[in-house]
Structure 1
Amino acid sequence: MSGAASSAAAPAAAAPPETPPPLFPSLPDDVAVNIIARVPSSHDPTLALVSRSFRSLLSSPLLSSARRLLRRNQPSLYLVLRHPSSPSSSSSSASSPASHLWYTLHSSRRLVPIAPIPSPSIGSAFAVVGSRIYVLGGSVNDVASPRVWVLDCRFHRWEPGPSMRVGREFAAAGVVGEKLYVMGGCTLDTWSRAAHWAEVLDPGAGSWAAVPSESLEVREKWMHASAVVDGRIYAMADRSGVVYDVDKEVWESVEDELDMGWRGRACVIDGVLYCYDYLGKIRGFDVKAGVWKELKGVESGLPKFLCGATMTNLGGNLVVVWEGKGGGKEMEVWCAEIAVKKDEHGELVGCICWSDLVLKVSNGSSIVNCLAVALSSWSD
């Protein structure tokens, strides 16, 4: 009797661990991982729907390592919005409400929110270096700030960057040869501000250095736009602008034709600077030819007027984001991706790859900027 009881009390043998199903039934898992690693990470939400094995792989370091070895550059779109409930200014405290909302575009063609900047400001300049977005200065409590915040787009993590020598708001910025240049946006009421009207940051060294700019007439003006073409940084003020040739370390004036036609945000694709003009047209300035040309082939696929339009170069395609009228208390955010090229006659021709509603937000919101980032999983 006691033997039977003793036998009944004995613990049951542990079941053998369940072998996870293969990623692809007909392929070894190492081959399957190599295939999945070639899919851009922006499609991860869709891949997660395939199976439990896929979801497990997407959260494992194995896939990250495979993507790192493949050295995949994956362009991703980021959008910054101003929300109507946001204050016009805020303190530098991390607990202050965000004045800007940040989003990234997923493969579903919908913008999804990411962590807001810890210390928001108004009138910041933006620049992309590798897989990081730099947010430079801006007004905090109506005072121009020298502070820099950096968004690591691989992990959507914010970290403080090296502060500029002077505070700036509405400055111009550009990246050449992995170095970040910023200019303008500061009053020249002290020697330090005058000497550091233009600065350059080497992210590897983590320090700013002054760029000589004493003879420029635009130094008393705010900057409203900037772009980089063939190693030359264009910084536009109201009715004037300057060009800084990084290799030659020479400043020049922006030619009149470009100055008269450049309005609002712009981006550069294959040596052509594209912007959206006040007549409701997307135009491109061929820097070498020195002429503006209308982008043809997109008239029927886009609204006649794109409110609040901004644009960026996403992997060689032109991406345009604009504000649309939603129903009731909502504003719509629309986005279109356009393949652009010069035809045999030198005319600019576009083909709309897709155009869609990507977000609905409260009325009174506005687009601040959009940026394209090549996500390099192996980058430091």
Structure 2
Amino acid sequence: MRKRSNSAAEERRQKKRKLDEKLSPLSSLPDEMIVSCLARVSRSDLAAMSVVSKRYRSLVTSPELYKTRSELGCVENFLYACLLTPPDPSPRWFVFRRGKPLFPIPSLPSQAPEASSVVVLDWGIYVIGGCIKGRPTSDVWLLDCRTHTWHYAPSMAVPRAAPAVGVIGGKIYVFGGCWGDKVDSLDWAEVFDPKTQTWDTLPPMPDRKMRTLHIHDSIVVREDKVYAIVGKDKTYYYSASEGQWGRATTTPPQRNPRDWCVIDKLIYCVDSKGNLCWCEPEDLDREPQGMYYWRRVKGLDSLNKKTLSTSRLVHFGARLKALWEARKIPNASNKNLIDMLPGARLSTCGGNLVLFWDVIEGDQLEIWFAEISLERRKGPEMLANILGPEMWGNIVSSHFVMTVDPFLDHYKVLHSVSVTL
């Protein structure tokens, strides 16, 4: 093991020397010209350049470089996944690239193993709140995806487990996830400004009964509103411009969506039957039935809907289960928490839809991945005015990314997010 480690270290030193030699003519140029050159280099090569010198490291991580890359159309999409892999108590982070296996990156030993929320802002992934040993935390961590380094961000005013999060105007909005007497806290909802590194209080949801129910995951940011689900089927939003709350819709119980994402302003979900569904953004505010207008994405018959509907990638600790049992909403006494909250993970990467889910085969657990491209088409001509357009999916890639044998406990995909760099 030591010989292998020494060999790898020597290889890195040789690579650094070669890069230093190649870049020496570049070093005589002004920073602006170097940034213009680096903007055309792939992300993997930029990571190698960052170890050459402090100057290059500073330029590789500078805002000017990523602004130039965006202007030149040289940005790349990277999919990040966070997994809990028993018996390791700490979540592990990976980068996933098409056609390649999960590639591990430095993880955070102190990250909450359950019920944290994540949000992407610019080049970073914020990990917000969560449960540590059955208790919520107010911790906030930032993963710098340019260098794969972790930074401690200012803590929230109150601890939160599975809060709803969303980004509007470069600020992070966080609400819910409070327990006990914190439900009535003036800091029930907060907003974080990365520029000033400060948290400010938002007005809490006025309906206290709704605040005491389990609020989880932001659905979507539409215009200046952050939508979230309260309990299992009530949809609420916070308007940043108006500084107030509003109720949007009631989600039809036959859909019971598991997870959400937005692609080209259309909203997608995986329902409890394993179907991939979509709706127009204005359907969020339809009355009285709101999201009754969900439609299935067609062309995905080869996806195993049975395993999607029974996926149990997301599990919750005993504390959250006990809270759910104590606060079950009327007429839902036979519903378990795992049946109400996300199982398969759904996200987007480069305009395509991405799914993670698990399949149990005997004593083996397989974690599967699928990337789906989407195409909007006109519906049947005779029914076009009634049914509207159709959405068709094409499976770009589908395969398992991890196998656990023997199967001892569920591995969990805690988060799946895309970052543009």
Look up the match of 1:348.
391
Q: What is the aligned counterpart of 2:163 among 171, 187, 199?
A: 171
Kindly report which structure 2 residues correspond to 1:264-283, keeping only aligned pairs within 5 A, or say none: 264-283=258-277
Task: Structure 2: give runs of 5+ residues left out of the alignment.
Answer: 1-17, 23-28, 30-34, 284-290, 314-343, 380-388
Contact 1:342/1:349 (CA < 8 Å) preserved in 2?
yes
Letter of the aligned partner of 2:134 in structure 1? Answer: D
How many Å separate the matches in 2 of 1:257 and 1:140? 31
Residue 209 of structure 1 pairs with residue 209 of structure 2: no
* Cα pair distance change 1:67/1:106, threshold 3 Å: farther
Identical counterparts, % of pairs = 31
Does the residue aligned with 2:200 lie in a helix, a strand or coil? strand
Look up the match of 1:367.
413
How many Å separate the matches in 1 of 2:362 and 2:404? 11
Q: What is the aligned counterpart of 2:246 among 243, 247, 252?
A: 252
Deviations 1:128-147 (A, max 9, x none): 11111111111223221111
Over the residues paired in the alignment, what is the CA RMSD in angstroms? 3.2
Contact 1:38/1:67 (CA < 8 Å) preserved in 2?
no
Residue 196 of structure 1 pairs with residue 187 of structure 2: yes
Look up the match of 1:161.
153
Does the residue aligned with 1:299 lie in a helix, a strand or coil? coil
Contact 2:166/2:221 (CA < 8 Å) preserved in 1?
no
Does the residue aligned with 1:254 lie in a helix, a strand or coil? strand
* Cα pair distance change 1:206/1:67, threshold 3 Å: closer
* Cα pair distance change 1:35/1:202, threshold 3 Å: closer
Q: What is the aligned counterpart of 1:113 among 87, 92, 104?
A: 104
Higher fraction of strand:
1
Does the residue aligned with 2:76 lie in a helix, a strand or coil? strand
* TM-score, reference length from structure 1: 0.76
Look up the match of 1:152.
144
Deviations 1:91-135 (A, max 9, x none): xxxxxxx2x121110344311111222312121111111111111
Look up the match of 1:333.
367
How many Å separate the matches in 1 of 2:263 and 2:47? 37
Kindly report which structure 2 residues correspond to 1:72-87, keeping only aligned pairs within 5 A, or say none: 72-87=74-89
Task: Structure 1: give runs of 5+ residues left out of the alignment.
Answer: 1-18, 24-29, 48-53, 88-97, 376-380
How many Å separate the matches in 2 of 1:186 and 1:226? 15
* Structure 1 residue 273 displacement after superposition: 1.8
Does the residue aligned with 1:189 lie in a helix, a strand or coil? helix
Letter of the aligned partner of 2:279 in structure 1? Answer: F
Q: What is the aligned counterpart of 1:136 among 128, 131, 149?
A: 128
Letter of the aligned partner of 1:145 in structure 2? Answer: T
Contact 1:171/1:222 (CA < 8 Å) preserved in 2?
no
Give the structure with higher Rg (CA).
1
Look up the match of 1:11.
none
* Structure 1 residue 259 displacement after superposition: 7.2
* Cα pair distance change 1:327/1:74, threshold 3 Å: farther
Contact 1:223/1:237 (CA < 8 Å) preserved in 2?
yes
Higher fraction of helix:
2
Kindly report which structure 2 residues correspond to 1:312-323, keeping only aligned pairs within 5 A, or say none: 312-323=347-358
Contact 2:205/2:245 (CA < 8 Å) preserved in 1?
no
How many Å separate the matches in 1 of 2:96 and 2:217? 24
Deviations 1:206-249 (A, max 9, x none): 11111102513421122233222323211112132311122222
Letter of the aligned partner of 1:267 in structure 2? Answer: C
Moved more, 194-203 or 340-349: 340-349
Moved more, 205-214 or 259-268: 259-268
Contact 2:167/2:221 (CA < 8 Å) preserved in 1?
no
How many Å separate the matches in 1 of 2:403 and 2:65? 33
* Cα pair distance change 1:256/1:325, threshold 3 Å: same
Contact 1:127/1:134 (CA < 8 Å) preserved in 2?
yes
How many Å separate the matches in 1 of 2:301 and 2:203? 44
Runs of 4+ in 1 over 6 A off after TM superposition: 33-36, 54-59
Look up the match of 2:116.
124
How many Å separate the matches in 1 of 2:282 and 2:97? 36
Look up the match of 1:310.
345
* Structure 1 residue 177 displacement after superposition: 1.3
* Cα pair distance change 1:210/1:74, threshold 3 Å: same
Contact 1:241/1:259 (CA < 8 Å) preserved in 2?
no
How many Å separate the matches in 1 of 2:210 and 2:47? 54
* Cα pair distance change 1:302/1:75, threshold 3 Å: farther
Does the residue aligned with 1:70 lie in a helix, a strand or coil? helix
* Cα pair distance change 1:300/1:157, threshold 3 Å: same
How many Å separate the matches in 2 of 1:132 and 1:200? 17
Contact 2:307/2:358 (CA < 8 Å) preserved in 1?
no
Does the residue aligned with 2:294 lie in a helix, a strand or coil? strand
How many Å separate the matches in 2 of 1:179 and 1:67? 22
Q: What is the aligned counterpart of 1:292 among 288, 291, 294?
A: 294
How many Å separate the matches in 1 of 2:50 and 2:196? 34
How many Å separate the matches in 2 of 1:208 and 1:56? 35
